[in-house]
Amino acid sequence: MSVRPFEANTPRIHPSAYVDETALVIGDVEIAQDSSIWPMSVVRGDIQSIRIGARTSIQDGTIIHVTHDSRFCPGGQPTVIGNNVTVGHKVILHACTIEDFCLIGMGAIVMDKAIVQSRVTIGAGSVVPPGKVLESGFLYVGSPIRQVRPLNERELEFLEYSAQNYQRLKDRHRALTAPAEAICDPTPIKPEAAPATPPAAPKPRTRRSSTPKRS
């Protein structure tokens, strides 16, 4: 069974979302409309909450987890993923925040209390250290990660295209797959009030030097 409760918490999954039968979703997890959890991914909300917004794809082999309440992290730390986010294959997201319209490259790791602001692309294999804030509108790469340059218009457009593409692909998989038996909280998730237009992309900053900024 790919969806199961943990103690008093049961996953809440919007009826339009897709969870592959080989994925695993546990505990205090909410997945909004038209999002998708792909094969062999683990979304484990056992010791804190995980919130995944609308039209977000969590691709094959990704692990999403949280941090428990302790004197080292009072109250614990949830993982919050926004709307229209593309999370690539074998990514690790741990107790962090990913805002809207981001792309997290394959094999990237985002650590505790890091914040990835909206419209950011993280290169494959990058590592975002604990507490790091990635500014909106830029490409980041490296381990530890560093800011490389502003995203160009084509790259900003691709962030929207990627989310739409995975929404369409999710629908094709749902059409071919019988609904998997799952234990889910019957409380309906309130549909997202979609804005009339996507949030405006930030204007790239003009740099005095061509040397990449190092964080």
- Please list the residues that pair with 16 across neighbouring strands: none
Is the peptide bond between 15 and the residue preceding it cis, with omega within 30 degrees of 0? no
What are phi and psi for residue 21, nearest 5 degrees? Answer: -65, -15
CATH number for the 3-176 domain, one of 2.160.10.10, 3.10.20.740, 3.40.720.10, 3.40.140.10?
2.160.10.10
Give me 73's structure tokens: 């992290």
Pairing label, strands 146-150, 138-141: antiparallel
Q: What is the pLDDT of residue 215?
A: 46
Q: What is the pLDDT of residue 176?
A: 87
Mean pLDDT of 43-68: 98
pLDDT digits (tens, 9 = 90+) for 123-170: 999 999 999 999 999 999 999 999 999 999 999 999 999 999 999 999
pTM of the model: 0.84
pLDDT digits (tens, 9 = 90+) for 87-120: 999 999 999 999 999 999 999 999 999 999 999 9
Looking at residue 139, its amino acid is L
How far is residue 59's CA from residue 4's CA, in Å, rounded to a whole number? Answer: 20
